[in-house]
A and B are shown apart, each in its own frame.
Chain A
Amino acid sequence: GDSVTQMEGPVTLSEEAFLTINCTYTATGYPSLFWYVQYPGEGLQLLLKATKADDKGSNKGFEATYRKETTSFHLEKGSVQVSDSAVYFCALLYNFNKFYFGSGTKLNVKP
Chain B
Amino acid sequence: NAGVMQNPRHLVRRRGQEARLRCSPMKGHSHVYWYRQLPEEGLKFMVYLQKENIIDESGMPKERFSAEFPKEGPSILRIQQVVRGDSAAYFCASSPGENNEQFFGPGTRLTVL
Rounded to whole angstroms, the CA-CA distance of A100 and B44 in the bound complex is: 7
Chain B residues, Cβ within 8 Å of A91: 42
Residues of A within 8 A of B69 (CB): none
Contacting pair B105 A43 (CB below 8 A): yes
Are A103 and B41 touching (Cβ within 8 A)? yes
* Min CB gap A25→B, angstroms: 13
Contacts of A17 in B (CB 8 A): none
CA distance A54 to B104 in the complex (A): 27
Tell me if B107 is interfacial: C-beta within 8 Å of chain A. Answer: yes
A98 at interface (Cβ–Cβ under 8 A)?
yes
| Chain A to chain B: the 3 pairs with minimum beta-carbon distance, closest first | A101-B42, A98-B45, A43-B106
Show the binding face of B for A, using Cβ within 8 Å.
4, 33, 35, 40-45, 48, 55-56, 59, 91, 98-99, 101-107
12 contacts between A and B (CB under 8 A): A42-B106, A43-B106, A44-B91, A45-B104, A97-B55, A97-B56, A98-B48, A99-B33, A99-B43, A100-B45, A103-B41, A103-B42
